[in-house]
Amino acid sequence: MTTIGVLALQGDVREHLHALERVGVEAVGVRRLAELEAVDGLVIPGGESTTIDKLLRIFDLYEPLKASLADGLPVLGTCAGMIMLASDIIGGIEGQQTLGAIPMTVRRNAFGRQVDSSEVELTWRPDGSTMHATFIRAPWVESFSDDVEVLAVDEAHGDRTVAVRHGNAIATSFHPEVVAPGTTPDDRVHALLVDIVQGR
């Protein structure tokens, strides 16, 4: 059975595990090298990118994870996870490192503070349908290389790029694991990750 890990150092770990289970894969938390080496794909959840960076190094996961991503490990990064996957950051703190899996520049906390969190309707470009998206202190993509595919743009905030794909790596500014009250789960982002893993 396909096994996808969720980096369980900070963030919406439980919600991502539930989303992965809904799309039919085994989902496990990842905190150790042996757990990372046992998964077919990985989710890097939201949280605080500077803290995730520090914890990856404390747990001796930074270099192995960076190498795995360079070797093609399928990955989904959401919110802070998007920052971690970027090659460059605007607004990062001194010494902050990323994993460099997607050749793009992201602006940290671009949508403002926690009180500026919002929910908007996006067009999910892979199938042209509407997607409800929740932004919480989110980044956005400032620029990217020509081989990065845009998956969604936030038209409500100046056509900002908020979801991209580069090879086996997906990144979203928003939180696809969040289920809005009174709605059914929308697991298309997690399903795309599963498709990439199973097609690898």
* Residues labelled as active-site residues: 79, 175, 177
Decide: residue 200, CB within 10 A, 0-12 exposed, 13-18 middle, 19+ buried: exposed
Three-class secondary structure of residue 76 per DSSP? strand
Core vs surface per residue 110-141: b (16+ CB within 10 A) or e = bbeeeeeeeeeebebeeeeeebebbbbbbbbb
CA gap 55, 1 in Å, rounded: 29
Distance of CA 179 to the CA centre of its chain: 16
Phi, psi of 7 (to 5 degrees): -60, 115
Q: Please, are residues 176 and 19 in contact by the beta-carbon 8 Å criterion?
A: yes
Residue at 61: amino acid letter: L
Q: Choose among 47, 54, 160: nearest CA to 107.
A: 160
